[in-house]
A and B are shown apart, each in its own frame.
Chain A
Amino acid sequence: MAAPLTLLLLVAVTLRAALFRAGLTDLISGRVEVVSPLTAWKRVVEGLALLDLGVSPYSGDVFHETPLIIYLFHFLVDYAEITFILADVITAVALYLAVKDYNKQVFRKQRYALEADRYPLDCLEIIRSPKEMYYIPLKVAMFYLLNPFTILSCVAMSTCGLNNAVIALFILSTIKGNVLLSAIFLSLATYQSIYPLTLCAPALLYLMQRQYIPVNFRRAGFWWFIAQYAFMYLGSLFVIVGLSFFLLGSWDYLPSVYGFILSVPDLTPNIGLFWYFFAEMFEHFRLFFLCVFQINIFFYTIPLSIKLKEHPVFLIFMQLAVISIFKSYPTVGDIALYMAFLPVWSHLHRFLRNIFLVSCVLLACSALFPVLWHLWIYAGSANSNFYYAITLLFNVAQILLISDYFYAFLRREHHLTYGLYLKRKDGSEATLVLK
């Protein structure tokens, strides 16, 4: 398996290098779908220039990266392209290893269940075979590296790629069962963009599952583990935040980064749901709806964790998707990260209902983004409503996509307990219905 992966990495790196050489960076880095005010490379360059001049990079209203990123590029600015390529490669390899490990566990669990005769007899069709699972990790890496969204994001030098790398490393360390590294990478990811905080729920569930700690609020062991994880998480977060403070010598970055993420002052159009809504909003309702929109992202964690507490990795996928749909400044790079997980759930395909419709809509929307942008900004003949309509459609399609996967996942679990060909009590064939 190493050889195909190496080949894939080579192809991906060559492709990116070629695109960099072709000078497409300028063209792509102006696209609002690919870069957001948070991740734009132009703004990083601006921040570096300010830093070199001895001015706090946060003094203007341009730079919104975290201090660690700016110091990273302070040293690596000449090798920025390589850094971004490397970040993509790291993400892909981390996902590859993580999924490989996860598949092993899934297979082991399935074997135990089979040995214990826990599956109904007619479920053999939906039992997963090693042959089918063999290529999944490679497909995951391929989905990430060759996804046009990732490539665009990388060529535009959007720092979203770095965030994805951190999240991928977090997923890898969690799946490998390394509590400390998991907490450290989670705190790094949180430090970068707040929203990955919700990933602590699946991480905890997964790690506890791995250490055979039952999720029981009355057990001391449960609370002890949470305390441990929280301590490690908060400790490393404290260290990172402190480090940022010492690097810059001021707390300027807190409002400039996190305030910027949470209060959404920049309403440049993007593929998210915030900009149009808040542009149209009366000013005195702004705070209220801001809270509603932001809580919305975190809110899904609780019901999803309860429903999926046996399946933390699927929960990670769901959470990533929810974040990338509802976050304040989404870019296509965020979408690419959760889309990389789609091959992991390839066994759910027979239960998916709207996949054709949804993929057509996603495809059409991706093509229509630049067209409507052109009509709005350059030709002046369309207006923002056209663009927002496509944004809305794009997000609805994404929501349908993940709810479809969610439904398919639950349905497969249901079949694994009750048998594939459900009969009613009166013997007629039954259909499962989602209400």
Chain B
Amino acid sequence: MIEIKHLSKTYNADDAARAHQALVDIDLTIDDGDVFGIIGESGAGKSTLVRCINLLERPTSGRVIIDGQDVTDLSGKQLLELRARIGMIFQNFSLFQQRSVLRNVTFPLELAGTSKAEREKRAHELLELVGLGDYANSYPVQLSGGQQQRVAIARALANRPSIMLCDEATSALDTMTTHQILELLRSINEELGVTIVLITHSMAVADAICNRVAVIDGGRIVEEGETSEVFAHPQAQMTRALLGIEGQVTA
């Protein structure tokens, strides 16, 4: 379970003229096994929020509690261990260009000091899982966008994480490929029991895969609930705008 309590993030907090409040008093609870969508327009703060979960961004105030452990102030080795327990995939895949597909997937295991035989065995299993068993010796540049994201998913799963963060994971993909990647994420959630936190600007993506969603606008959560409920009875203006109910989005 991920609990986010009164979390705020202000950039350049020590300089009033340049200070920028990215997140304001965020409260969220994400249960084990959820596919939780954080929806918002670009600049709404969703990227910052998801990075506060693995502390790539440090909250200015508030707490992040994962499986009952307050992780907000972790540093050094403990912080690195926390991050290793949380998988992450990215909009532009972020594959290491000079590493083969296999060695991209073994990367997190190399960090942990897993033996070569063991990590390659694990990587081959994962590549089978994501449907790229034949591509172990290829390089990222030789793959399509969808294939690259599959490799990134395999890499994110290498350490057997209980949580996976998805940062606009399908935004760079076409509709068909997006659908396939979402199906893969769904099966990972259902079969491996991985909790998925997914940020997106697309209501269609959230609708396809999330059981719960939160809508974020101007750094605040404006609406939260079961996906079906939020979509059927949107309350906040931003939700209605994202759903296209009220025409143009006010900037």
The answer to whether A and B come from one shared complex is no
